[in-house]
């Protein structure tokens, strides 16, 4: 991990340790619900992921599209005010999707499909510093921010597969699974409207990280990057 990626997290920790008595009543728990869209095929086949991302490699063999893994995103985070224009946050979210698929060009001798289930789960744990562009006293509070994310993930392939190394291309049943923790940057863009003790709003959140896979898979990496499109409700205390 490059050292500059740790700067937002270190800044957040330092700022959160500062007492801000005038804003203490503005702390909040922010709940989010929406969708998560993985980076599309065009973005996954550039740079250091060229011909390595497992979802791209699988899409060449299975009846599969990267967008099939788009999922629901659930999250909660603690918001801590730092003066009039800054805010620190720490939170956790959850996304998971299982995609049923089949080989696109092969079937069994009896004509039936060769089926698999592919699943991806990502649990982002994030810390950010946000700038409230109009301050926290406005009727509408737009904000932008950046920080660091720790992404706990698990990728799984389960079902029937073809052994292309053997004559006759025999079909066998198997389960392949890999999990890990990756670190990467996070960016947030949003706005909220205070309504008494709560604030409602919307947020666009971007994450970027990759995970390493074993030789059991067609690709050696999995791209965990993508966009969260969220509705938010913050309860202030």
Whose CA is closest to 44, among 205, 217, 210, 227? Answer: 210
For 10, the 3-state DSSP assignment is: helix
pLDDT at 175 (0 to 100)? 97
pLDDT at 47 (0 to 100)? 52
| Contact (CB, 8 A) for 28 and 104 | no
pLDDT at 138 (0 to 100)? 87
What are the DSSP calls for 90-147, one per residue?
EEEEEEEEEEEEEEEEEE-TTS-EEEEEEEEEEEEEEEEEEEETT-TTSSSEEEEEEE
Whose CA is closest to 29, among 77, 68, 94, 71? Answer: 77
User: Going residue by residue through the chain (237 aa), what tens digit of pLDDT does each one get?
Assistant: 444 444 444 444 444 444 443 444 489 999 999 999 999 887 775 555 555 899 999 999 999 999 999 999 999 999 999 999 999 999 999 999 999 999 999 999 999 999 999 999 999 999 999 999 999 888 999 999 999 999 999 999 999 999 999 998 999 999 999 999 999 999 999 999 999 999 999 999 999 999 999 999 999 999 999 999 999 999 999
Q: Mention the CATH class of domain 3-95+123-150+180-236.
A: mainly beta
Q: How many beta carbons lie within 10 A of that of residue 36, not counting itself? A: 25
Q: Give me the numbers of helices (H) and strands (E) for the chain, helices first please.
A: 3, 10
Q: Give the pTM.
A: 0.85
State CA 131 to chain mean position distance.
22
pLDDT at 27 (0 to 100)? 94
pLDDT at 26 (0 to 100)? 80
pLDDT at 113 (0 to 100)? 97
For residue 140, give both structure tokens: 């509408």
For residue 154, give both structure tokens: 């698990």
CA distances from 106 to 69, 100, 102, 170 (A): 23, 16, 9, 11
pLDDT at 139 (0 to 100)? 94
Residue with tokens 């053997």: 166
Phi-psi label, residue 138: left if phi above 0, alpha if psi -120 to 50, beta otherwise: beta
Strands 113-132 and 226-236: unpaired
């Amino acid at each position: 991990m490059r050292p500059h990626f740790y700067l937002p997290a270190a800044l957040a920790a330092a700022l959160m340790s500062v007492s801000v008595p005038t804003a203490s009543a503005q702390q909040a728990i922010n709940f989010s619900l929406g969708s998560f869209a993985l980076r599309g095929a065009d973005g996954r086949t550039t740079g250091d992921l060229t011909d390595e991302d497992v979802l791209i490699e699988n899409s060449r063999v299975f009846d599969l599209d990267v967008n099939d893994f788009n999922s629901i995103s659930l999250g909660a985070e603690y918001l801590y005010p730092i003066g009039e224009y800054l805010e620190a946050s720490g939170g956790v979210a959850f996304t998971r999707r299982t995609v049923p698929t089949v080989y696109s060009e092969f079937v069994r001798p009896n004509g039936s499909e060769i089926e698999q289930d592919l699943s991806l789960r990502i649990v982002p744990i994030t810390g950010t510093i946000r700038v409230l562009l109009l301050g926290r006293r406005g009727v509408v509070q737009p904000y932008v921010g950046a920080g660091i994310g720790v992404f706990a993930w698990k990728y799984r392939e389960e079902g029937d597969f073809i052994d292309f190394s053997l004559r006759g291309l025999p079909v066998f049943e198997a389960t392949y699974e890999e999990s890990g923790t990756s670190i990467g940057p996070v960016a947030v863009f949003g706005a909220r409207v205070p309504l008494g003790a709560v604030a409602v709003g919307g947020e666009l959140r971007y994450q970027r990280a990759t995970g390493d896979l074993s030789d059991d898979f067609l690709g050696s990496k999995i791209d965990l990057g993508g966009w969260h499109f969220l509705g938010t409700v913050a309860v202030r205390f």
